[in-house]
């Protein structure tokens, strides 16, 4: 029973890590979409004003604010990409632990069913193949 609860815990941890990876991916996509929208708005403002030089004194205030926001979104998306790499690594570790736990449970159940040969049967098989015990 202890193995069963450990296995459930490992599955829960894998699911949690998988949700975290998905959540970060969605956030990155949303930030990039918003940055693209801001790019279009900036281009429209610059076209309306006829000024695309950010250092020009008459550069549109809205375009300047949108640029700042777009840069912040890009920076946040970059930070999220770092978090995504870390989250994927943690997911891989959790999957490895789950696979290991499932393997242990499978061997344990096989031993309970008697699927594994006894040590005596193994020795008899080795002797029958001409392998002398050490």
CATH code assigned at 118: 1.10.287
Number of domains observed in the structure of the chain: 1
Residue 39 lies in a domain: yes
Which is nearest to 83 in space by CA: 22, 36, 9? 22
Task: State pLDDT tens for residues 90-133.
Answer: 999 999 999 988 887 666 665 566 655 555 555 555 555 555 55
Residue 133 lies in a domain: no
What is the pTM (predicted TM-score) of this model?
0.71
* Domain ranges, residue 48: 2-128
Residue 112 lies in a domain: yes
Task: State pLDDT tens for residues 66-101.
Answer: 999 999 999 999 999 999 999 999 999 999 999 988
Residue 134 lies in a domain: no
């Amino acid at each position: 029973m202890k193995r069963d609860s450990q296995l459930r815990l490992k599955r829960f941890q894998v699911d949690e890590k998988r949700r975290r990876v998905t959540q970060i991916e969605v956030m990155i996509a949303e930030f990039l979409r918003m940055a693209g929208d801001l790019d279009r708005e900036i281009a429209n403002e610059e076209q309306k004003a006829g000024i695309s030089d950010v250092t020009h004194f008459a550069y549109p205030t809205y375009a300047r604010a949108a640029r700042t926001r777009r840069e912040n979104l890009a920076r946040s998306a970059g930070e999220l990409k770092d978090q995504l790499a870390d989250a994927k690594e943690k997911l891989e570790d959790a999957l490895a632990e789950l696979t290991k736990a499932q393997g242990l449970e499978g061997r344990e159940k096989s031993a309970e069913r008697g699927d594994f040969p006894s040590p005596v049967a193994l020795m008899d098989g080795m002797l029958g193949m001409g392998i002398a015990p050490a």
